[in-house]
Amino acid sequence: MNNGHRVHVVYTDFSKAFDRVNHSILLNKLNSLGVQGNALKWLSSYLIDRQLQVRVNGHLSASYDVKTGVPQGPHLGPVLFNIFINDIGTNFSSEYFLYADDLKICRAIVNDSDIQALQHDIDQLSAWCLNKKLDLNIKKCAVISFSRSHTTHPTNYMLNNKVISEVEDIKDLGIIIDSKLTFTKHISKITLQAHKMLGFITRTCRDFADPRSLLNLYYSLVQPILEYGSVVWSPYTDTLISRVEKVQRKMCKTLIYHRAQPTRNISMEEICCQYKINSLKSRRQIADLAFFYKVVNGLIDAPEINSSFEFAPVNLTLRRNRLLKITKSTKNYVVNGPLNRIANLVNSLHNDLDFYGGTYSNFITATKNKLLDYH
């Protein structure tokens, strides 16, 4: 997109992937990877001859044999599934991302040959699924075209002789991503959801004598809705920032009327000070800095993101003005995107915070002392 090209991303959906893992195929793959002898026999006994029963209202069904699938409760289940699926992109020419059974295939579209190459990768995926005896749910598969252009270019990718539906936005690990990368729809969704939850709390708990009980419920049930994945979608326009903060302002107004001596004259700032309520923007900034610290110190295994943070040239001054390079662009989604936003924040605080030394706990404490009004 930075070069003016469209980026097509194919989102796939497996039908009951964990329950459809073929035991023979999995055991053969484990054997080829060097898991042999007693270890392989143990895993075979773990998978084969399993039985299940269903209990409803004290009544127990007859047992039935489980002929496919890996157990999803124990830690071993996801490991076995990852081993089963880890060669899914061997024959792809496009970039792909795999998280458990969540697969995305991406390609920048410069010309028609890129469209053909992406279609070939989809065909390779279909062949892989046939070989591994897994099914794709075509109704839940989708393709999205990321572009800042106002000109649309309909996609016609096929999967098993059926057209993959094209969408303008899609939920990716709980975050709604739109084709323009504005995250407006995601912010609208979470603020609506947060307002509903806050309304439920205030209606249910209107007789609570202690306002702090309401505040604790807000912190537990509402704030997480507004903060999940904020490193990805954190807004940069005043309108969207205000829309998110509006939920918390509503909470503050609720606290005003739950005080022992309610008054209309108390300001929002006084309420925040009394109950030590920090702005959601400052909390998102802490989340950004925590993410940066974890990436550059190896607490999160993300080498591509780590390499995107480049050191700025050294200036012959006592105190460097910048620690990290800022990507220059005329496009808002680049200038205000996660990497640039975090880099700008790091540059503004690198003389006050140690990003490359000390413990994570000490770093977070220092960051909160620097950014939060109340502790």
Q: Is the pLDDT of residue 107 over 90?
A: yes
14 lies in the same domain as 111: yes
13 lies in the same domain as 119: yes
**Cβ-count burial 97-132 (b if 16+ within 10 Å, e if not):** eeeebebbbebbbeeeebbeebbebbebbeebbeeb
Q: What is the pLDDT of residue 100?
A: 87
206 lies in the same domain as 268: yes
Q: Is the pLDDT of residue 263 over 70?
A: no
Residue 65 maps to a domain: no
Q: What percent of the chain has pLDDT over 70?
A: 95
Q: What is the mean pLDDT of residues 107-132?
A: 96
Q: What is the mean pLDDT of residues 64-68?
A: 86
231 lies in the same domain as 94: no
pLDDT band (50, 70, 90) for residue 319: low
Q: What is the pLDDT of residue 320?
A: 58
Q: Is the pLDDT of residue 156 over 50?
A: yes
For the beta carbon of residue 180, count every other beta carbon within 10 angstroms: 17
Q: What is the pLDDT of residue 318?
A: 47
Residue 190 maps to a domain: yes
Q: What is the pLDDT of residue 334?
A: 81
Per-residue pLDDT tens digits for 165-197: 999 999 999 999 999 999 999 999 999 999 999
Region for residue 100 given its phi and psi (left: phi exceeds 0; alpha: psi -120 to 50; beta: otherwise): left
Q: What is the pLDDT of residue 268?
A: 83
Extract the tokens encoding 74.
């124990």
Contact present, 194 and 247 (Cβ < 8 Å): yes
Extract the tokens encoding 193.
């959801």
At which of 224, 242, 277 does a domain end?
A: 277
111 lies in the same domain as 158: yes
Q: Residue 248: which H helix or E strand, with range? A: helix 238-257
Domain count within the chain = 3
Q: Provide the 3-class DSSP secondary structure of residue 233.
A: helix
Quote the domain boundaries for residue 121.
6-18+84-167
Region for residue 102 given its phi and psi (left: phi exceeds 0; alpha: psi -120 to 50; beta: otherwise): beta
Can you tell me the distance from the alpha carbon of 27 to that of 48, in angstroms, rounded to the nearest whole number?
10
Strands (E), the chain: 6-11, 50-52, 55-56, 59-60, 64-66, 95-99, 102-109, 142-146, 158-159, 162-163, 165-167, 169-172, 175-178
pLDDT band (50, 70, 90) for residue 323: confident
Extract the tokens encoding 62.
């007859």
Residue 364 maps to a domain: yes
Residue 333 maps to a domain: yes
Q: 3-state DSSP: the chain helix, strand, coil percent, rounded to 5?
A: 45, 15, 40
Q: What is the mean pLDDT of residues 346-374?
A: 93
Q: Is the pLDDT of residue 375 over 50?
A: yes
Extract the tokens encoding 246.
């509006």
Can you tell me the distance from the alpha carbon of 343 to that of 345, in angstroms, rounded to the nearest whole number?
5
Q: What is the pLDDT of residue 329?
A: 76
Domain with 120 in it: what CATH number? Answer: 3.30.70
For the entire predicted model, the pTM comes to 0.87
Q: What is the mean pLDDT of residues 145-161?
A: 84
Q: What is the pLDDT of residue 82?
A: 94
Residue 53 maps to a domain: no
At which of 277, 306, 331 does a domain end?
A: 277
187-201, 250-264, 309-323: least confidently modelled range? 309-323
Q: What is the mean pLDDT of residues 64-69?
A: 87
Mean pLDDT, rounded, of the chain: 90
11 lies in the same domain as 120: yes
Residue 123 maps to a domain: yes
Q: What is the pLDDT of residue 264?
A: 63
Q: What is the mean pLDDT of residues 64-85?
A: 89
263 lies in the same domain as 347: no
Contact present, 12 and 104 (Cβ < 8 Å): yes
At which of 244, 277, 310 does a domain end?
A: 277
* Cα angle 365, 370, 373; round to 5: 100
98 lies in the same domain as 13: yes
Q: What is the pLDDT of residue 283?
A: 97
pLDDT band (50, 70, 90) for residue 256: confident
Q: Is the pLDDT of residue 317 over 60?
A: no
Bigger pLDDT: 66 vs 243: 243
108 lies in the same domain as 131: yes
For the beta carbon of residue 88, count every other beta carbon within 10 angstroms: 20
252 lies in the same domain as 129: no
